A and B are shown apart, each in its own frame.
Chain A
Amino acid sequence: MFRRLLSGDLPRSRVLACVLAVICLGLLFTPFVFPGARALNVAAKICTFVVLVSSFDLLLGYTGIISFAHTMFFGIGAYGVAIAITRMGPTWPAVAAGVGAALAVSLVLSLVIGLFSLRVKALYYAMITLAVATAFQTLASQLSDFTGGEDGLSFKVPELLSPGFSFSERPFLGVSLNGRLISYYLLAAATVALFLVMLRIVNSPFGRVLQAIRENAFRAEALGYRIVVYRTCSNVLSAAFATLAGALLALWLRYNGPDTSLSFEIMINILLMVVIGGMGTLYGAVLGATLFIVTENYLQDVMKLASHGFAGVPLLRDLVNPDRWLLWLGLLFILSVYRFPFGIVGKLRAKARRAT
Chain B
Amino acid sequence: MSGPLLQLAGVHTHIGAYHILHGVDLEVSRGELTVLLGRNGAGKTTTLRSIMGLWHVSLGAIRFEDEDISALETPEIARRGIAYVPENMGIFADLTVCENLLLAARGARRAEDIDPGRLELIFGQFPALKRFWQHPAGLLSGGQKQMLAVARAIVEPRKLLLVDEPSKGLAPAIIQNMVGAVRELKRTDTTILLVEQNFNFARQVGDRVAVMDGGRIVHVGEMAALAADEALQQRLLGLSLAAHQ
Contacts and interface: CB of A to CB of B under 8 A. Distances in A.
A and B from one complex: yes
Given A222-B74, A223-B78, A226-B75, A208 B95 contact: yes
Interface in B46-94: 52, 54, 73-75, 77-79, 83-84, 86, 90, 92-94
Interface in A210-249: 211-212, 214-216, 218-226
Given A208-B99, A209-B103, A222-B52, A215 B75 contact: no
B227 interface: no
A221 B92 CA distance: 13
Interface residues of B, number: 24
B128 interface: no
Contact of A216 (B90, B99, B104, B106): B90
Given A205-B109, A218-B54, A223 B95 contact: no
A215 B92 CA distance: 6
Given A221-B54, A222-B52, A224-B106, A216 B75 contact: no
Interface in A170-228: 204-205, 208-209, 211-212, 214-216, 218-226
Contacts of A220: 92, 103
A281 B74 CA distance: 30
Contact of B84 (A205, A208, A222): A222
Contacts of B205: none
A238 to B, nearest CB: 19
A216 B93 CA distance: 10
Nearest to A280: B94
Contacts of A205: 102, 108-109
Contacts of A280: 94
A135 B95 CA distance: 38
Interface residues of A, number: 19
Contacts of A208: 95, 99, 102-103
A345 to B, nearest CB: 14
B78 to A, nearest CB: 3
Nearest to A203: B99
Contact of A219 (B77, B92, B99, B108): B92
A223 B104 contact: yes
A202 to B, nearest CB: 12
A231 B137 CA distance: 23
B86 to A, nearest CB: 6
B113 to A, nearest CB: 10
Contacts of B79: 224
Nearest to A229: B75
Nearest to B99: A208
A211 B74 contact: no
A222 B103 contact: no
A226 B79 CA distance: 11
Given A218-B54, A219-B90, A211 B75 contact: no
Nearest to A225: B75
B78 A222 contact: yes
Contacts of B95: 208, 211-212, 215
Contacts of A204: 109
Nearest to A204: B109
Contact of A215 (B83, B94, B104): B94
Contacts of A222: 52, 54, 74, 78, 84, 86, 90
Contacts of A215: 92-95
Contacts of A218: 54, 86
A126 to B, nearest CB: 22
A214 B103 CA distance: 14
B111 to A, nearest CB: 12
Name, among A215, A216, A222, the residue most crowded by chain B CB atoms within 10 Å (CB to CB): A222
A224 B92 contact: no
Nearest to B136: A353
A205 B94 CA distance: 15
B54 to A, nearest CB: 6
A208 B86 CA distance: 19
Interface of B: 52, 54, 73-75, 77-79, 83-84, 86, 90, 92-95, 99, 102-104, 106, 108-109, 152
17 contacts: A204-B109, A205-B108, A211-B92, A211-B94, A215-B94, A219-B92, A221-B74, A221-B75, A222-B52, A222-B90, A223-B78, A223-B83, A223-B103, A223-B104, A224-B74, A225-B75, A280-B94
